[in-house]
Structure 1
């Protein structure tokens, strides 16, 4: 089947692998959020919803709503580290809705959970470069084949985005190498 030059092929199995990877990355920083707001379950719910989709669950409105709820939790967090941890969770649930567009913006949807989790842990640790290097190395080595396959169909990560954008570009380059 011919494809529009502005689209890529993207299977449901690939979406599931990407969402599972994003959830695993976000879960690494979940305690950063829960240490600050232990009664707020929105980020945990989003990660759990992403894992459920990755395990064969349906892509539903509830999954999308869990992504938005975690995003809202990020906006309500007083701690920058907790906010980034919640954004990682939001990206994990949203990864199930990756678009088959040949756009550099889609790279942020694939690697956003990992990058925000790295930033959350970096902020929680006092911006120590060794912490960040270990987190990004873990994210690189735990990426399933679908992550690298889909990245290979997309243009490179876009510029901008501050420290999180830098992490996305670093991960993108490492995963394409």
Structure 2
């Protein structure tokens, strides 16, 4: 963590860019959750809410509620892969709530959806880390200069977090060195 008190300037457009990026990552693995829980729309609702915000919608209670609902869906997922897919959806909706503080943990709001989606891809493929790496590479290529610009305002991703944390740090390092 940096000093934790330094404020980072974030515009509404910055938040929309980050949220759209996160929604794209979560969208890639929604089917993992939906195969496990076909009647449960909470993760899809969270991704849809994230896209709505990214495209100009309100950042209000319904967006926050959708994120919490996807979080609960992760607990009900039934498989680890489906749980990570639901967490990716939760991260997508919560990306709109990126805090403007120089705290390394805020990187999770930016890259958490991609990291959880990569982990879901690994788990679906029987633990193949190459599947996670391929997902991260797509996420790296999809990142816009605006997303990388927001990311660079924050300290590097924090330690910990198990395999998802490793994936988060891998993507963080790849994006920071991109331009």
TM-score (normalizing by structure 1): 0.96
Matched, 1:171 2:177: no
Mapping of residues 88-103 of structure 1, within 5 Å: 88-103=88-103
1:32 corresponds to which residue? 32
Aligned pair count reads: 174
Tell me how far apart the structure 2 counterparts of residues 139 and 114 of structure 1 sit (CA, whole Å).
Answer: 7
Kindly indicate whether the alpha-carbon contact (under 8 Å) linking 1:18 and 1:144 is maintained by their aligned counterparts in 2.
Answer: no
Tell me how far apart the structure 2 counterparts of residues 146 and 38 of structure 1 sit (CA, whole Å).
Answer: 35
1:125 corresponds to which residue? 125
Tell me how far apart the structure 1 counterparts of residues 79 and 87 of structure 2 sit (CA, whole Å).
Answer: 12
TM-score (normalizing by structure 2): 0.95
1:106 corresponds to which residue? 106
1:8 corresponds to which residue? 8
User: What is the deviation of 1:8?
Assistant: 0.5
2:42 corresponds to which residue? 42
Inter-CA distance 9–129: structure 2 relative to 1 (3 Å threshold) = same
Q: What's the Cα RMSD here? A: 1.0
Structure 1 unmatched runs, 5+: none
Matched, 1:61 2:54: no
Tell me how far apart the structure 2 counterparts of residues 7 and 150 of structure 1 sit (CA, whole Å).
Answer: 13
Kindly indicate whether the alpha-carbon contact (under 8 Å) linking 2:88 and 2:116 is maintained by their aligned counterparts in 1.
Answer: yes
Structure 2 unmatched runs, 5+: none
